[in-house]
Structure 1
């Protein structure tokens, strides 16, 4: 069973709608990536601070190692360098933690920018597409012989507006009861149009 109608007008509308939804998803995805990247850039200063502190900590560690080699005073001389290195270690950890938090927030915002508008559109679009598919599939099950056209004609008599029935026949009920295949054919085609289907050529010819 096709996911699309066989009638050109309905088919064109479905294709335009589906392409529009696809384009919307792509645009929202691109916007989410942009937002993610823009917010993630705010983590740059924290990362730079962590790298600078890491370099300074390495320099202090080297200085502490050099000071430790001074005979008799090595332990005392290296203490300030070790203290500075330890302080920088805390700064490095804090800066990296801040950068990680910013990047997680950036990822979350990017997903929200993508998911919220896409979900809203899908909530309107997807049920309509599913409803069409189910109706068309159910109709297709009964559309395999000329005798089945009576069912669609009966549904047309029960659901179509009076002016639509009047265009088909002055007395469509009598024609349906009498087995007028031309009227039954026309009624069935009107009903099938609601599901986006067309009367198969072989049934049209048989009717």
Structure 2
């Protein structure tokens, strides 16, 4: 499908890099979840305090209701209990707000711990993989269409580094113009190597 090179060494290198990128993502995903859980654990005592405040508030309200039944002075006896219950309700509300803030911070930091290192790696890795895929697919289409070796040789002259061309011929342009089969073959092979492909059997025969 053009995702990986058909040359063993290039294929092994690509697969290794892809596995490392995947492992990198999994590592930081786990790290993000750990950081999220660690920061989120700060909210545990706040939840307990909020639950205790809620229970006490309910108890004070129940006690106030009992006090209100005392003839003559019931309303006066109930008032301190209601005030205490109201104060505990306000404390519970404040604690719940803090719990929400802690959970949001934990989620945010957890995502940042995951996204920042993974995004940096993916920003370098993904464009290279996309370029290779497009190059390999395009080259394969030419091979499937039985394009002449000269096409790949010409591409090699335009794209290959000077030291690669020098290793093929002292004057690769002149040899290509003369149609030197050995030079054309080596130039085409160098270009297809860049796309992770091999010369098909029919081209070897040429």
TM-score (norm 2): 0.90
Report what 1:150 is aligned to. 150
Report what 1:33 is aligned to. 33
Q: CA deviation at 1:162?
A: 5.8
**2: CA distance between counterparts of 1:17 and 1:6?**
16
RMSD: 2.0
Q: Secondary structure at 1:69's aligned position in 2? A: coil
1:126-149 deviation digits (Å, cap 9, x = unpaired): 111111111112222222355421
* Alignment of 1:11 onto 2:20: no
1:13-65 deviation digits (Å, cap 9, x = unpaired): 11111000000000000000000000001111211111111111111011011
**2: CA distance between counterparts of 1:41 and 1:164?**
59
1:73-106 deviation digits (Å, cap 9, x = unpaired): 2211111111111111100100111111101100
1:101-135 deviation digits (Å, cap 9, x = unpaired): 10110011000000000001111111111111111
Q: Secondary structure at 2:133's aligned position in 1? A: helix
**1: CA distance between counterparts of 2:66 and 2:87?**
19
Alignment of 1:45-194 (within 5 A): 45-144=45-144, 147-160=147-160, 164-165=164-165, 167-168=167-168, 172-173=172-173, 175-194=175-194
**2: CA distance between counterparts of 1:131 and 1:157?**
19
TM-score (norm 1): 0.90
Unaligned runs of 5+ in 1: none
Q: CA deviation at 1:159?
A: 4.1
Q: Is contact 1:53–1:91 with CA below 8 Å preserved after alignment?
A: yes
**1: CA distance between counterparts of 2:35 and 2:147?**
59
Q: Is contact 1:64–1:77 with CA below 8 Å preserved after alignment?
A: yes
Q: Is contact 1:145–1:203 with CA below 8 Å preserved after alignment?
A: no
Unaligned runs of 5+ in 2: none
List structure 1 segments (4+ residues) > 6 angstroms apart after TM superposition.
none
**2: CA distance between counterparts of 1:103 and 1:163?**
58
